[in-house]
Amino acid sequence: MRFRVRKAAHVFERVGLAVAGAACGLFVGAYVGSAIAVLTTQGFLLLMMVLGFVGFYLGIDTPQLPFDEAHSHIDAAELLSSAGTLCATLTAFASVAVIVLRLEPHMVWTWLALIGWIGGVAMQIVAGAKARMRK
């Protein structure tokens, strides 16, 4: 019984993180979609949210390698996960700031936000898949 409760709590935590990722994707999609006319679609917003959901579900809380002499090398999955999380959340934070403060940054910043978001969640997805394959 205790194991099932712990397992359920872990799933709840991961789903909560995934929903936070979807919210971040929504903010990035709203900012980028409002600046680039071609991307002003519900499909684009949904894609950004799904990428955030999957990235934050897989990429946050990746299983770590045991810390011993046999595993003394750098854990690529852990490094990729942390870099992806930082990149994605900084991009989402900047997007929220642009929306709330009603800023109009140069188009280069908009493209950087899109690239930063996609790159960040891609790193999370790859890291999460890599960490789970080694189990």
List helix spans (H) across 1-135: 2-35, 42-59, 76-100, 107-133
Q: Which two tokens stand for residue 95?
A: 């997007």
pLDDT at 69: 64
pLDDT in tens, 40-75: 999 999 999 999 999 999 888 777 777 666 666 778
Measured at the alpha carbon of residue 117, what is the angle toward residues 112 and 121, in degrees to the nearest 5?
Answer: 150
Q: What is the pTM of this model?
A: 0.87
Residue ranges of domains in the chain: 2-133
CA distance 100 to 84: 24
CA distance 63 to 50: 22
Q: Which residues of the chain have pLDDT under 70?
A: 67-72, 135
pLDDT at 114: 97
pLDDT at 70: 64
